[in-house]
Every structure is written in C-alpha cells, then in structure tokens.
Amino acid sequence: MAQILNVLLLLAEILLLILKIFYYIYEATYRLIIPPQKKSVVGEIVLITGAGHGIGKELAIGYASLGATVICWDINEETNNETMNEIKKMGKNSVYAYRCNITDREEVFRVADKVKNEVGNVTILVNNAGIIFIKSFLNQSLDEIARVIDVNVTAHYWTLKAFLPNMIEKNHGHIVALSSIAGLFGAPYATVYSPSKFAVKAIMEAISEELRALSNGKSLVKFTTIYPAIVLTGLVKNSNIRFPWLMGELSPQEVASSIIDAQRRNYENKSIPSYWLFFFKIGKLCLPNAALKCGMDFFSYGVHPDDKKVT
C-alpha cells in the first residue's frame, strides 16, 4: 500500500512539473509579445564600474537622468570625474566619483566602505568594466592574460563581496554584469577574452541559483547578464563583419539604453541585438557543430587581430 502511495505521489509531482513547464513556456511566449513593465530607479543607488568612458559613462548618464543616485568607479580618475561633471551639468547633483582599481581587492573593499559611509548602500551594481587584447593566443603575453582575467572575472568577486551582502540582508537589489556575444562561443583572437566572458555568465548563473536555493525562492535580489555585440568604445579597432546592416557595430548610447531597459524589466539575460541570444540557443540545440561553424564562416562576424594594446 505504501509503495502504491509513493508511486501516486511521484506521478502527481511529475504532472505538476509538466504543468509548470507549460506555464513557463506560455509566460515566456507572452513576454515576447508584451514585455514586463519597467520598474522605477528613482532613489536607487547605482554603482557602475568603468564609468569613465564608453558604455559605463552612458550608463551613468542614463541612470542619473532617471532619478537614481549614481556612483562612478574607474581607475582613470580624470575621465571618471569628467563623467560626474557632465551629469552635474545636466542639473543632476546626486552623482559621485571614486577612483578605484577593481582588480585590487583591498582597494575595492576600502572604497566600498567609503561609498557606504558617504552615500549609502548600493542597491544596483553594474559590473561593466572590461578589457580585451585582440591577438592570437601565442602572441599574448602572460601579463596581458592575467590582466584580462583580473579585470573581466576576478574583479566581479570583489564587488559582489562588497555589495551583495547588504542586498541580501535588505532583500532588495539588482546585480547587472556585462558578458559578451563572445561569451557565448569561442571567438578567434579572443582566446582569453571569450573565456573571461563565459566566466561572467557562469558567475551570475551560479550566484543567482545559490541565492534562490538559500532563500527557498523568496529572494528579491535580481540578476541580469548582458551580451552585447561589437560596441564602438575603442576596444575593437578592426572589426570583420560581412553584413553590417544585420550585425552592425553598436554605439555605447544604444547599448547603455538597452542595459537599463533590461535591468528595469528584470530580464535575466539580454543580448544586444536581442535576436542574438535566441538564435544562439536555437542553433546550439538543433544544429551539429559542423553546421554552426559553416554558419559562422558565412556570416564572418569577428575581429581582425592586431598587436595594439587597447584598454
């Protein structure tokens, strides 16, 4: 009798699982047509790494214009202050700039404490800073390899250690991290950059799932991972795009706008352009590797190598 009851309970669980799967498929399809409403960021304290230029600068301007308090972090004090001053010229005074080398964990924790004391607890953390050296693997120096890993991967752990605990305690907050389209597949001449962006994806997924498990699904701390295509920030000098009208380079302004939109809608993953992630998932699911490589050769989307250092 007990065995029959256990079988019936298992069947009931399986039925419930199937119903949940169909529900979430329906919900995802519905959200493709009608996206979630944007949440307000008024009064939120947003910290952006790499705010001195490119996407980071545009993110700072975008969040400030929406009424958030903005904290700019960058290793380049001059450009970081320029971002802050540009925002103040807009009439937005709730903006602060701190020089911080995010690869130095002691400095991260020290500056984080200063931010907490002078501004308040960060509620939205945007791990935007990144670096790439566009070279073949054999031409990359040991120092270049270490620097890419330190900036693109390890630094995420230091900022998360500094700001995530308070978000968990308050059960309120949002972590945004920039991966890359190159973090979805291995790209030539990005043999360190691509794995570093794969790692960003893994970090975000693992911490999000861990927090969900620890809170029994009750955590309100959100996680958003962004996968931009090539962005005109100066990091890439020689792009190789066969169909620019379909997969053209993006401006920092439009990427920043898409990132803010994804964060405000609580998207877990967002590629820019948006169709990249969808086609990547379908391709990986349905096509053999040889077919995927044929497609990559046809579209010829990537970069030409050079030996110039870009930061």
Active site residues: 193
- CA count, 13 A, side-chain hemisphere, 45: 17
Measured from the Cβ of residue 272, the count of other Cβ atoms closer than 10 Å reads 24
Q: Which residue has the tokens 């969040």?
A: 63
CA angle 237–243–245, rounded 5-degree value: 95
Rounded CA-CA distance 22/67 in Å is: 39
Return the CA Rg of the chain.
Answer: 21
**What is the torsional sign of CA 75, 79, 83, 88?**
positive
99: which residues sit within 8 A by CB, 6+ positions away? 73, 74, 75, 76, 77, 80, 111
Rounded CA-CA distance 86/97 in Å is: 12
CA angle 228–233–239, rounded 5-degree value: 75
Closest among 153, 50, 36 to 101, alpha carbons compared: 50
SS (H, E, C) 154-175: HHHHHHHHHHHHHHHHHCCEEE
β-sheet bridge partners, residue 97: 72
Cis peptide before 273 (omega within 30 of 0): yes
Rounded CA-CA distance 276/196 in Å is: 19
Determine the residue type at 32.
Answer: L
